[in-house]
Structure 1
């Protein structure tokens, strides 16, 4: 399709799968990792996007950690809010005026089922993903009736390095299979693959998806979220 697509956190895991998906469709893709800029650095974000005509922005950069609320530090809270929510805000703000001016653009934020529900030991992560979903909906309200859309995908556990760390923590704590424990939490009975998330992102970013705005596409196999 020959669009310019920017994918934050695009060098591995879900991001790398998203990059591959868009490239297969003929788009020019700029995968952004920490080597390019820190999504929480306002000046760096603005400088990166200056002069760039972005057709699709995928806010995928994210981090996670888990702990009971009483053991969640302020630093844990702030770092996840910064990357998962502030980063999406800064990048969206940088590209949105140009999209609105051209009356064309797609913003897709990779959130999580944690952005729609709550689960124990994930207060900071859950709060940050709720913020990302809220941002998605607020931006959608601003651009309603234009050629720009803002949507989110909310996957369950995906087979990534981040999930591998969660699996390791479960196994160290319980001595049981971490992957089996996570799979049991999903109606799918398994982990999602990064390519499944990439498909959902590409769907929401498609030119034909202009009527889909302010939505959260849940990828959990049919749960209550």
Structure 2
């Protein structure tokens, strides 16, 4: 199966291109999958749990999505098995969105080695493993100007935050990997970029809010006010805003955007 010639498409159409989205069952990953399918992509919804992936697939146009459950981004064997299923459904992958990740909190002095290694594995090493496994496909798509890699990092990959040292280290690593690979692939027709959301209205953040409420006795309003205090807009980011940024980065209209870490955070982080 060949990648469509982008010269025959609009600058925002993803018609016929195969996009693999990890962590696609909830939150930002689900929003990205919906947005890419809306633009015409055939989307592989990859994740560990089948039920959330099936729920997202049911929202998408018939025939536009396939579900690959058991996709453990820290396990090379699971990645290869999942990719085989994805390719069987939609052919080689042209667009890779490394979205899967997790956050754990602890003061640095109480961060165990196990916790450190777990966070690095899920949030950084996973990007290395999945990207290496998909790289040949994406490079082949690059020959037609359609190869795209987008890594979902975080504002924690651009600045520091207290009590999430492992997460910050991992997301800084994702940004560094993004920039390095962007230079390596710059002449292949492949672009590599990162999006760096601030606090976003996802189940992960809502779980964090609930945990803080339980630990401190503060109200939901008080906790949300603290989390959004760094955002000049005074709100949580909407997952669809992150998805729209990703959709632009993987479009032909963003062919000259390469090696960038784009903050989607209402002005919280300004780099330049």
Contact 1:166 1:178 (C-alpha < 8 Å) held by counterparts: no
Greater Rg over alpha carbons, structure? 2
Q: Secondary structure at the match of 1:138?
A: helix
Superposition pairs for residues 205-224 of structure 1, below 5 Å? 205-224=250-269
Tell me which of 189, 208, 212 is aligned to 1:147.
Answer: 189
TM-score by length of 1: 0.95
Instruction: Give the equivalent residue in structure 1 for 2:175.
Output: 133
1:157 correspondence with 2:199: yes
Instruction: Give the equivalent residue in structure 2 for 1:36.
Output: 70
TM-score by length of 2: 0.79
Provide closer, same or farther for how the CA distance between residues 22 and 224 of structure 1 changes in structure 2, counting only shifts above 3 A.
Answer: closer
1:175 correspondence with 2:214: no
Tell me which of 134, 156, 161 is aligned to 1:114.
Answer: 156
Aligned residues: 225
Q: Distance in 2 between matches of 1:90 and 1:220?
A: 28
Contact 2:191 2:255 (C-alpha < 8 Å) held by counterparts: yes
Superposition pairs for residues 30-109 of structure 1, below 5 Å? 30-34=44-48, 35-50=69-84, 51=87, 52-102=91-141, 103=143, 104-109=146-151
Contact 1:105 1:148 (C-alpha < 8 Å) held by counterparts: yes
Q: Secondary structure at the match of 1:222?
A: coil
When the two chains are superposed, the root-mean-square deviation of aligned CA atoms in Å is: 1.4
C-alpha deviation, 1:26, in angstroms: 1.4
1:19 correspondence with 2:19: no
Instruction: Provide structure 2 residue ranges, at least 5 long, that are not aligned to the other structure.
Output: 1-14, 49-68
C-alpha deviation, 1:49, in angstroms: 2.3
Instruction: Give the equivalent residue in structure 1 for 2:236.
Output: 191
Instruction: Provide structure 1 residue ranges, at least 5 long, that are not aligned to the other structure.
Output: none
Q: Distance in 2 between matches of 1:207 and 1:4?
A: 14
C-alpha deviation, 1:36, in angstroms: 2.9
Q: Distance in 1 between matches of 2:92 and 2:140?
A: 11
- Which is worse superposed, 28-37 or 108-117? 28-37
- Which is worse superposed, 199-208 or 49-58? 49-58
* TM-superposition CA deviations, 1:130-179 (whole Å, max 9, x none): 11111111110110122100000001001111101221232233332221
